[in-house]
Amino acid sequence: MMKQLLLVMTLAFTFAIGHAAASAEFYEFETAEQERRFNQLAGELRCPKCQNQTIADSDAPLAQDMRQRVYEMVMAGESNQEIIEFMKVRYGDFVHYRPPVNRSTLILWLGPLLAFVIGIVVIVLNVRLRRHDDSELTPEEEARMRQVLANSDIDTNTDEENKEEHKQ
Amino acid sequence: MIGELGHFALALAFAFSALLAFIPLIGVARGHGGQMALARPLTYGMFIFTLISFIALVWGFLANDFSIAYVANNSNTALPAIYRFTAVWGSHEGSFLLWMLVQASWAAALALFSNRLPLVFAARVLAVMGMIGVGFYLFMLLTSNPFERTIPLIPVDGRDLNPLLQDPGMIIHPPLLYMGYVGFSVAFAFAIAALLGGRLDSAWARWSRPWTIAAWVFLTLGIMVGSWWAYYELGWGGWWFWDPVENASFMPWLAGTALMHSLAVTEKRGTFKSWTVLLAIAAFSLSLLGTFLVRSGVLVSVHAFAADPTRGMFLLGFLGVVIAGSLLLYAIRAAKVQSHSRYDLFSREVLLLGNNVVLVTATVVVMIGTLLPLFFQQLGLGNISIGEPFFDEMFMWLTIPFAIILGLGPLTRWRRQGFSEIRNSLGLALLLAVVLGFALPWIFADVVHGLAALGLILALWVVFTTVAELRMRVASREHKLPALVKLGRSHWGMVLGHLGFAVMVIGIAMVQNYEVERTVRMGPGDTFEERGYVFSFEEMYEWQGPNFISDTATFRVTRTDGSRVGIIKSEKRFYTVTRQMQTQTGLQVNPFRDLYIALGEELEDGSWAVRIHIKPFVRWIWGGSILMAIGGIFSMTDKRYRLRRRLRDERKREHDAAEQEAKA
Amino acid sequence: MNPKLKLAFFLMPLILFLLVAVFLFKGLFSDPTRLDSALVGREVPQFELPDLYQPDVIHDNRIIGQRPLLINVWATWCPTCYAEHTFLNQLLAEEQVYIIGLNYKDDSRGAAVRWLQNLGDPYAINLFDATGLLALDLGVYGAPETYVVDQHGVILYRHVGDLNERVWRREVGPIYYRAMRDAGLPIPEHRQELVL
């Protein structure tokens, strides 16, 4: 959120690219769909030169060149996939903010799913184990536990809520 | 002189934190009440000297003392006074001093309220706060001294504050964010103190819960203000960029949200103890990780502070000690925790656990997405970028189970719930949600986007189940309204929090699918029509601000039928000292849509590239966050956290616990 | 659960954290802005560009692929290129390294020509890429950049930033000389060690 140092960083770069003054650019589209696609693509492609910015967000000359190329390709009727491929051939997977699905990015795409599944399995096992544990409790322990639970219950829900629950 | 005073005060604060880190613990080990009681005055000392140090830096800015390097780099005589004040946290050193002040404030607040805690426990908690302080103060003193002098070459004037930060949003965003980040250190301290003492019980959860919620409220508001600021200040119309630095604040928020819910279970049912403690450690650890990512330069981000490997090394070392130490302690102690409570698969416990699983998965998504590019480079697998398309996709999938669980949870009783009892309420809620989810976009827009409908259905499901839950609570009452009021703040906190989430989901679903962005060439006199709005470029004028020159364009907005909507002023500013251009977005808002105009480049013929956005429901995203925060405030001010009742309860609890221990 | 297994289970978070910490530690010593070229291992893209000195002479891919060479991306607006220039001159003078200059989006043809007249011209061929056509195809993201191309016209390496003796000895030189050896061309005596 502190989008600071944005320009500072750009200036601090030892090998600067392009000219200081950005040339005025403006793209005319024939259809709103073309403009929407252009905006979408420009928002998904990364400016290789910048500090983690899309080519839509960046004022760097390289980003301008890439926008220009995206614009030309959109106007020439090339598909989103073709345009992204075009950029990937030149700048690598790096240029697209959606990483490819392949062996090395498996953890990215399946890691979250794995975490989710493990979580669910642990919950189910937990419930099962507890049921199992339960049978091993002596009647006294059981009574004691009930008492402890009942005590904590007083504070659990607000009093109103609690009464309500007992009624049901 | 004042600068040296500030530096000296910082050193004293460090000394206090160092004493705080071990004297109370020695007291605990020896059973020496006096030493334990020292925790409080030591904490106050740490706070007071941090405050003095902070005031010294503020004074440096207000008095334009450019002999202080940090002031010279981030301020200017032409800078308006309010921004000279906020420039204090405009860059690394000062913002870290603010962080320290916040940390010391939390510690002091803790000390102030700690007379409600058993002395041993209070001593441990404050000592942990001291330990955290030791690391931070050392970091400041050794690598990031904000009081460094420029002597003998004192500049005549300063280099000015980054124009992006000269904005009202920046006045409150960092303090709120830090209150949240650092606030989790309190939950962390409670967790460590409980592990040290070997007593993880409901009492611990109860003490720690209001503090956790408070930190969470601050973090929620901090992130919200940041998002809002980025939206209008950057001129790109985005409200979240999935930048590593944003992710760094989002991870503790997700973990903190999970913690809040898990604490509720631990407090009320005395179960999930070891899990809750782990979340408390995780929330603060993720805050620390975020600090490291932002301040070390290991990741590429537009936000990052200037990279400095020594700082990175220090922070990583500190991170290692704090996190690894606490996780080791956790492994040793938590393995021994027993819990005897029993619940069925369909019960509130399990649904809350399910909520935790989704939130943790979300944290994993953000973490992998943020760190994987770094790991890839280390492993020689090349460079990849992980951004919006990935995160949007993942979070869409995550929202589905999350919203379903969120709707079910409140309707479900602890321990065991028969499905048949709530089947009717659920069926009705589902039916209404699905019907309205499709009908609303169908009525109000020309196309029904699948994802928008999905978002609406999920949000409405949450809304209707929440209503159903409220109805159930008062079903048997004669006077419904008073019964609703009597439900208690904690309950209303939950209701508001969940509704806030629903509101936010509606906002996101609508703006993502129905927003319009057009870039048009316009000069004075030109008009442009889009979605029933006519934008007329009326005039362009130049004016001189305190430290900038502005080109301001005035747009008149009307409906196609000629009725007046409003005037939008959009600016392009040139900041003369920093020589940077800055867009000031023009907005015309109502609850259902924003009209957003940003000036692009000036084109050859005196016309401008004008970016016009129409953003339906975008305000609901922030409105929902505010609602969630209000929910948090309701929860933490519930009467059971208030003094008198608490004292009584705690005595009873302690008595119970002692009895239990004796039996065991 | 047996206690050891349980302890192992609760140690998981610690182990995960330590793993992450190792990467973060290594991350402190690497430059996150460094990018590998996507074109390594591929042929130089098709191009047709005018000569810097003679606008009507058009060069295409035929100038590449007879021998190992360097393609050096430069411009007069690039201060680092200035710093690099002396070393390029030295490479030509001392070991006749074949360098193709790619003048990238320069202010004007005249400025670029004057620069070479004043500082010396280390380039065997000078390409003038006013709009950054070839540069975009090469995935250039800043100047100066240097590509090592082998005798078959395949890109072997890309270096971003200036060339100097240190970079040459450590990174670029060994790749270039190995390509020379593979092409059966002589390697200067004092550079032999770089190939080993």
Residue B415, judged by CB atoms within 10 A of its CB (0-12, 13-18, 19+), counts as: middle
| Bridge partners of residue B593, in order along the sequence | B590, B616
Phi and psi dihedrals of A105, rounded to 5? -100, 15
Residue in C14, C23, C27 closest to B327 by CB: C14
Contact A48 C79 (CB under 8 A): no
- Please give the single-letter amino acid code of residue B297: G
Q: Is the pLDDT confidence value at B153 over 90?
A: no
Q: In whole angstroms, what is the distance from residue B608 CA to residue B235 CA?
A: 15
Please tell me if residue A52 touches chain B, with a CB cutoff of 8 Å. Answer: yes
Mean pLDDT of A136-155: 51
The structure tokens 């890439």 sit at A66
| Bridge partners of residue C43, in order along the sequence | C154
Interface predicted TM-score (ipTM) of this complex, two decimals: 0.86
C12 contacts: CB under 8 Å, gap ≥ 6: none
Q: In whole angstroms, what is the distance from residue B511 CA to residue B441 CA?
A: 12
Q: In whole angstroms, what is the distance from residue B110 CA to residue B570 CA?
A: 46
Predicted model pTM? 0.88
Residue in chain B nearest C28 by alpha carbon: B298
The structure tokens 């004796």 sit at B662
Residue in B177, B236, B476 closest to A57 by CB: B236
Residue C132 DSSP label: -
A49 contacts on C by Cβ (under 8 Å): 141-142
* B548 three-class SS: strand
Residue in chain B nearest C36 by alpha carbon: B382
B319 contacts: CB under 8 Å, gap ≥ 6: B285, B288, B289, B292, C21, C24
With the CA atoms of C48, C50, C51 and C57 taken in that order, what torsion angle do they form, in degrees rounded to the nearest 10?
A: 90
Q: In whole angstroms, what is the distance from residue C155 CA to residue C38 CA?
A: 10
Contact B382 C25 (CB under 8 A): no
Q: What is the pLDDT of residues B426-481, one digit of tens each?
A: 899 999 999 999 999 888 888 889 999 999 999 999 999 999 999 888 887 777 78
**Best CA proximity match to B85, nearest among B50, B103, B60:** B60
Q: Which of B83, B249, B385 to mutate to test the interface with A (most CBs of A within 10 A)?
A: B385
What distance in Å separates residue B387's CA from the closest CA in chain A? Answer: 5
Phi and psi dihedrals of B649, rounded to 5? -60, -45
Of chain B, the percentage scoring pLDDT greater than 70 comes to: 95
Binding-face residues of C in 120-139 toward A, CB within 8 A: 131-132, 136-139
Q: Residue B588 has which token pair?
A: 């015309």
Find out whether B409 and B348 touch, Cβ atoms under 8 Å.
yes
Q: Where are the alpha helices (DSSP H) in B63-167?
A: 69-74, 81-86, 92-113, 119-143
C176 contacts: CB under 8 Å, gap ≥ 6: C68, C70, C97, C148
End-to-end CA distance of chain A: 49
* B415 three-class SS: coil
Predicted local confidence at residue B474, as pLDDT: 84
Q: What is the pLDDT of residues B237-292, one digit of tens each?
A: 889 989 888 999 999 999 999 999 999 988 888 788 889 999 999 999 999 999 99
Mean pLDDT of C109-115: 91
| Residue B119 neighbours by CB distance under 10 Å | 17
Contact A152 B304 (CB under 8 A): no
Q: Residue B355 has which token pair?
A: 């909520």
Sign (positive/negative) of CA torsion B133, B139, B142, B148? negative
Contact C21 B383 (CB under 8 A): no
Q: Which of C4, C10, C35 to mutate to test the interface with B (most CBs of B within 10 A)?
A: C10
Q: What is the pLDDT of residues C35-78, one digit of tens each?
A: 777 788 888 888 999 999 999 999 998 998 888 999 999 998 88
Exposure b/e, C64-85, CB count within 10 A at least 16 = b? bbeebbbbbbbbbbbebbeebb
Looking only at the bridges linking them, the beta strands covering C58-60 and C69-74 are: unpaired
What distance in Å separates residue C107's CA from the closest CA in chain B? Answer: 19
Residue B606, judged by CB atoms within 10 A of its CB (0-12, 13-18, 19+), counts as: exposed
How much of chain B is helix, strand and coil, in % rounded to 5? 65, 10, 20
Predicted local confidence at residue A6, as pLDDT: 35
Q: Residue C103 has which token pair?
A: 């003048």
Q: In whole angstroms, what is the distance from residue B361 CA to residue B398 CA?
A: 8
- Angle, in degrees to the nearest 10, between helices B244-269 and B348-378: 150
Predicted local confidence at residue A157, as pLDDT: 37
The pLDDT confidence band at residue B551, using thresholds 50, 70 and 90, is very high
C7 contacts on B by Cβ (under 8 Å): 331-332, 335
Of chain C, the percentage scoring pLDDT greater than 70 comes to: 99
Predicted local confidence at residue B218, as pLDDT: 97
Of chain B, the percentage scoring pLDDT greater than 90 comes to: 61
Contact B377 C21 (CB under 8 A): no
Find out whether B117 and B197 touch, Cβ atoms under 8 Å.
no
A95 contacts on B by Cβ (under 8 Å): 385
Q: Is the pLDDT confidence value at B159 over 80?
A: yes
Note the Cα B342 to chain centre separation in Å: 34
**Best CA proximity match to A6, nearest among B637, C64, B162:** B162
- Please give the single-letter amino acid code of residue B485: V
| Bridge partners of residue C149, in order along the sequence | C69, C155
- Please give the single-letter amino acid code of residue B600: G
Q: Residue A57 has which token pair?
A: 């967000």
| Bridge partners of residue B559, in order along the sequence | B533
CB hemisphere CA count around C58 (13 angstroms): 4
The pLDDT confidence band at residue B57, using thresholds 50, 70 and 90, is very high
Residue A163 DSSP label: H
C3 contacts: CB under 8 Å, gap ≥ 6: B335
- Please give the single-letter amino acid code of residue C152: H
The structure tokens 């490291």 sit at B292
Residue B597, judged by CB atoms within 10 A of its CB (0-12, 13-18, 19+), counts as: buried
Residue in chain B nearest C10 by alpha carbon: B331
Instruction: Mean pLDDT check: name the lowest of B169-173, B294-298, C49-53, C146-150.
Output: B294-298
Sign (positive/negative) of CA torsion B258, B212, B414, B658? positive
Residue in chain B nearest C18 by alpha carbon: B324
Q: Is the pLDDT confidence value at A168 over 50?
A: no
B357 contacts on A by Cβ (under 8 Å): 115-116, 119-120, 123
Q: Is the pLDDT confidence value at B300 over 80?
A: no
- Please give the single-letter amino acid code of residue A90: R
What distance in Å separates residue A16's CA from the closest CA in chain C? Answer: 6
Predicted local confidence at residue A153, as pLDDT: 39
Q: What is the pLDDT of residues B334-363, one digit of tens each?
A: 877 777 677 878 888 889 999 999 999 999
Q: Residue B221 has which token pair?
A: 């508001």
- Angle, in degrees to the nearest 10, between helices B202-233 and B618-636: 160
Ramachandran quadrant class, B426 (left: phi over 0; alpha: psi -120 to 50; beta: rest): alpha
Counting one residue from chain B and one from chain C, the pairs whose CB atoms sit within 8 A come to 73
Please tell me if residue B309 touches chain C, with a CB cutoff of 8 Å. Answer: yes
Residue B67, judged by CB atoms within 10 A of its CB (0-12, 13-18, 19+), counts as: middle
How much is the mean pLDDT over chain B?
89
Mean pLDDT of B412-432: 84
- Please give the single-letter amino acid code of residue B630: I
Q: Which of B96, B296, B384, B612 to mutate to test the interface with A (most CBs of A within 10 A)?
A: B384
Contact C105 A69 (CB under 8 A): no
Q: What is the pLDDT of residues B557-593, one digit of tens each?
A: 999 998 999 999 999 999 988 888 888 999 999 999 9
Show the 3-state SS of B579-626.
Answer: CEEEEECEEEEECCEEEEEEEEEECCCCCEEEEEEEEECHHHHHHHHH
| Residue B610 neighbours by CB distance under 10 Å | 25
The better pLDDT of the pair A52, B535 is held by: B535
Please tell me if residue C44 touches chain A, with a CB cutoff of 8 Å. Answer: no
Element (H, E) at B494: helix B489-514
Q: What is the pLDDT of residues A11-52, one digit of tens each?
A: 333 233 333 334 457 888 988 899 999 999 999 999 887 778
Please tell me if residue C60 touches chain A, with a CB cutoff of 8 Å. Answer: no
Contact C10 B335 (CB under 8 A): yes
Instruction: Mean pLDDT check: name the lowest of B181-185, B524-528, C92-96.
Output: C92-96
Contact B226 A1 (CB under 8 A): yes
Instruction: Mean pLDDT check: name the lowest of A154-168, B129-143, C177-191.
Output: A154-168
Q: Is the pLDDT confidence value at B608 over 80?
A: yes
Binding-face residues of C in 10-29 toward B, CB within 8 A: 10-11, 13-14, 17-18, 20-21, 23-29
Residue in A5, A105, A108 closest to B304 by CB: A5
The better pLDDT of the pair A130, B184 is held by: B184
Q: In whole angstroms, what is the distance from residue C158 CA to residue C138 CA?
A: 10
What distance in Å separates residue B182's CA from the closest CA in chain C? Answer: 20
